[in-house]
Amino acid sequence: MKRWQADALLLVVAIVWGVTFAVQSAAMRHIGPLAFTSLRFLVGAAVVAPLAWRECVALRRRGHRHDGSDALRVAGLGVLMCLCAVWQQFGVMATSVTSAGFLTALYVPVVPILAWGLMRQAAGAVVWLSALGSFAGTYLLSGAGHVSVSEGDAWVLASVLPWALHVLWVGDVARRLAAPFSVACGQFLACGLFSMVWAAASEPMSSSMITAAAPAIAFAGVLSVGFGFTAQVVAQRHTRAADTAILLSSETLFAALAGFALMDDRLGALAWSGAALIFMCILAVQIAPVRAGRPA
């Protein structure tokens, strides 16, 4: 694969992930947030399963074996991913698609701050300035001058911390197991099963609801979860880290475009200035390590 092809593939991933925010919002007309989360991740696990199986076979031929503790780590990732996805889904139900897209992306500056706090990994001046800028952008995006953010914004903001923790943990587990597709499939499966149990205990679910939401479930499961992860892994082997950072960060912009075109989202000038500030801070955090010669 040539570099321009890899960049084009990453741009497609960003478009899919951005549009998925609108799909998530539309799906709530037919099905509950827990059931939707469960089904989309189970579909995603099914998409990645053939690649995970092929990977496991190859690892066994080379003498690699995974034990029960590895399975528990992957299951733990799935539970954490479930909290992230469900809280975000609660937020999407009560805020605009545009706000949800930009607020979710706040995990980018939060990750290096957590790495500094939990792992004593140095966080440079760019990280701290970007974090401050992101919170200022959140204030503007959520409604400057108001005492508190909306309920939906609060749920999305709550999902940012577990997303950031997931990013830190998944890297460690993936390196330990040397099996990215197996880790992905396992955590998708655990997330789907855990949220299914949660849904069965707290919200209605019927075949008619699933049928009505089937297009959204298929889009979010096949394209966002299954295709998105796989395409990202493939593309990043053939392009620069700076390209990846910029292209995947554009997910927030595509979420805003999808919200405008599909959900009739309309933001004021202050809100758009906040969104722009968040986006610039996201780019700064991702590009600064690349320019310094370190991995993004």
**pLDDT, tens digit, 9 for 90 and up, residues 231-261:** 887 787 777 655 666 677 778 888 888 888 8
> Going by C-beta distance under 8 Å and a sequence separation of 6 or more, which residues neighbour residue 177?
66, 70, 73, 74, 183
Res. 293 pLDDT band, cuts 50 70 90? low
> Higher confidence at residue 69 or residue 171?
69
Q: How many other C-beta atoms can be found within 10 angstroms of the C-beta atom of residue 29?
A: 9
| CA–CA gap between residue 276 and residue 50 (Å, rounded) | 40
At 32, list the tokens: 């509950």
pLDDT of residue 132: 80
Asked if pLDDT for residue 224 goes beyond 80, the answer is yes
Res. 147 pLDDT band, cuts 50 70 90? very low
Asked if pLDDT for residue 157 goes beyond 70, the answer is yes
Mean pLDDT over the full length of the chain: 83
CB 170 within 8 A of CB 102: no
pLDDT of residue 53: 93
| CA–CA gap between residue 231 and residue 222 (Å, rounded) | 12
> Going by C-beta distance under 8 Å and a sequence separation of 6 or more, which residues neighbour residue 250?
11, 14, 18
| CA–CA gap between residue 76 and residue 166 (Å, rounded) | 10
> Going by C-beta distance under 8 Å and a sequence separation of 6 or more, which residues neighbour residue 237?
1, 6
Res. 24 pLDDT band, cuts 50 70 90? very high
Q: Which of the 8 DSSP states describes residue 120?
A: -
From 59-68, 138-147, 184-193, the region with the lowest mean pLDDT = 138-147
Asked if pLDDT for residue 291 goes beyond 60, the answer is no
Res. 87 pLDDT band, cuts 50 70 90? very high
Q: What is the rounded average pLDDT of the residues 128-145? A: 71
Domain boundaries, the chain: 3-291
pLDDT of residue 201: 92
Tell me if residue 162 falls in helix, strand or coil: helix
Q: How many other C-beta atoms can be found within 10 angstroms of the C-beta atom of residue 63?
A: 6
Q: Which of the 8 DSSP states describes residue 294?
A: S
CB 262 within 8 A of CB 22: yes
DSSP states along 128-192: HHHHHHHHHHHHHHHHTT-SS--HHHHHHHHHHHHHHHHHHHHHHHHHHHT-HHHHHHHHHHHHH
pLDDT of residue 19: 93
Asked if pLDDT for residue 10 goes beyond 60, the answer is yes
Output the CA–CA distances (angstroms, integers) from residue 130 to 7, 72, 73, 117, in the order listed: 25, 35, 31, 16
Burial class from Cβ neighbours inside 10 Å (0-12, 13-18, 19+) for residue 147 reads exposed
| CA–CA gap between residue 213 and residue 217 (Å, rounded) | 6
CB 288 within 8 A of CB 122: no
Asked if pLDDT for residue 145 goes beyond 50, the answer is no
Helix axes 3-27, 97-104, angle to 10 degrees: 130
